[in-house]
Amino acid sequence: MTRLLHNPAAAEILGLALTSPVVVGSGLLTDQERNIRRLLAAGAGAVVTKTIHPNPAPSGSERLLHLPTGMINSTTYSRRGIDQWCAMLRRFAADRLPVIASLHADSPAELAELAAAVADTGCRALELGISCMNEDGGLTDTAERVAAYTGAVRSVTTLPFSVKLAAGERVRERVDAAVAAGADAITLSDTIAGLAVDPKTGRVLLGGTFGYSGPGIKPLVLAEIYELRRSGVQVPLMGSGGVQSAPDVAEYLSVGADAVQVYTALHRNMHDSLAGIREGFDDWLRDHGGTVAALVGRSLPKGEA
């Protein structure tokens, strides 16, 4: 604890005291115990698991397309069973590791049941990965839908949880719905709709519209977090979208995020990239003589952080 108090990079989210605000976001890389442990050893403040789902789609059509500005992916949920995940989460809990379990299900009642089972493992925090746009038919997210999933989980557990939303239309209404239904934090953003075309043939690559991530979405997410804070939203926020370097982390904190997730950048040199961002941000703080607490919200007009 004393070490944390003297650590300028110390941050807090979902009741977890983090040694760094740099958190690894949910995705293919966080589907394995070995990767999660190695990412924590490489300096992650916390790691969010791949989204655990009671009825994941059968494997087959999951693909990644690399673009100059990021990536489009057609993946959905972890194919590991709930029992396997619960056993893994028990081992993380026994080691007091800052692992956040990402959860989704086909209905609010089913998500509540899953959240109750995961809470029993000793897991310390959850993220509701309810806004994945790669589901069949895409995602039409509404405040009502967000409230239903959030409220169902709140009714079964006191465990802190974040609701992960996608940047886009009516984000303020969706954030307000999550907070009113009991969310302890918001993660913004999941991937957003993206499409790529072969210019020679006109063929739509990957066969449709899927989740776009990486540096291309960073300005959009920064703008939404900035506007949410400017319009008075107070709930703790984790920024997620296009973080590749220490200055990106500083930008997210400056517009009012309390912690920052990084994912797509880790598809190249996973541990080294994470260590580079984490250590780079520690160095950045040292060079600029600041703390995470002092950075959060500094871009906002006074009184709006």
Ligand X SMILES: Cc1cc2nc3c(=O)[nH]c(=O)nc-3n(C[C@H](O)[C@H](O)[C@H](O)COP(=O)(O)O)c2cc1C
Pairing of strands 192-194, 259-262: unpaired
Within 13 Å, how many C-alpha atoms sit on residue 226's CB side? 14
**Residue 28 interacts with ligand X (CB under 6 A): yes or no:** yes
Q: What is the DSSP string of 149-196?
A: HHHHHHTT--S-EEEEEESSTTHHHHHHHHHHTT-SEEEEEE-EEE--
Which one of 13-21, 201-209, 213-221, 270-278 is the stretch in contact with ligand X (CB under 6 A)?
A: 213-221
Edge to edge, what strands does the sheet with 210-213 contain?
64-67, 70-73, 210-213, 192-194
Give the C-alpha separation, 123 to 95, whole Å: 11
Q: Is 123 one of the annotated active-site residues of the chain?
A: no
Could you tell me how far CA 127 lies from the centroid of its own chain? Answer: 8
Contacts of 113 (CB under 8 A, 6+ apart): 54, 105, 156
Please report whether residue 35 would count as binding ligand X according to CB under 6 A. Answer: no
Position 62, amino acid: E
Q: Give the residue with the Cβ less far from ligand X, 178 or 243.
A: 243
Are the beta carbons of 296 and 257 closer than 8 angstroms? yes
- Report the C-alpha gap between 88 and 122 in whole angstroms: 11
Q: Any contact of residue 240 with ligand X (CB under 6 A)?
A: yes
Contact 191, 215 (CB under 8 A): no
- Using the contact rule CB under 6 A, the part of the chain among 114-122, 147-155, 258-266, 276-284 near ligand X is 258-266
Decide whether 69 or 291 has the Cβ nearer to ligand X.
69
Q: With respect to ligand X, which residue has the nearer C-beta, 19 or 51? A: 51
Residue among 226 and 263 whose Cβ is closer to ligand X: 263
Q: Which residue has the tokens 């912690």?
A: 259
Residue among 19, 35, 102, 150 that touches ligand X (CB under 6 A): 102
CB of 200 to ligand X, least distance (A): 26
User: Of 12-20, 72-80, 88-96, 170-178, which part binds ligand X (CB under 6 A)?
Assistant: 72-80
20: contact with ligand X by CB under 6 A: no
Token duo for residue 117 = 């089972």
Options 119, 132, 139, 259, the catalytic residue: 132
Q: Is 164 in the site for ligand X (CB under 6 A)?
A: yes
**Position 139 contacts ligand X (CB under 6 A):** no
Which x/- pattern over 179-198 shows residues binding ligand X (rule: CB under 6 A)? Answer: -----------xx-------
Q: How far apart are CA 129 and CA 174, in angstroms?
A: 14
Which residues, 260 to 299, sit near ligand X by CB under 6 A?
Answer: 262-264
Min separation Cβ 289 and ligand X, Å: 27
Distance of alpha carbon 259 from alpha carbon 158, whole angstroms: 21
Nearer to ligand X, 7 or 275 (CB): 275
Residue 121 CB neighbour total at 10 angstroms: 18
Nearer to ligand X (CB atom), residue 129 or residue 297: 129
For ligand X, the binding residue among 35, 73, 150, 254 (CB under 6 A) is 73
178 binds ligand X, rule: CB under 6 A: no
Residue type, 134: N
Residues forming the site for ligand X (CB under 6 A): 25-28, 50-51, 64, 71, 73, 75, 77, 102, 129, 132, 164, 190-191, 213-214, 217, 240-243, 262-264
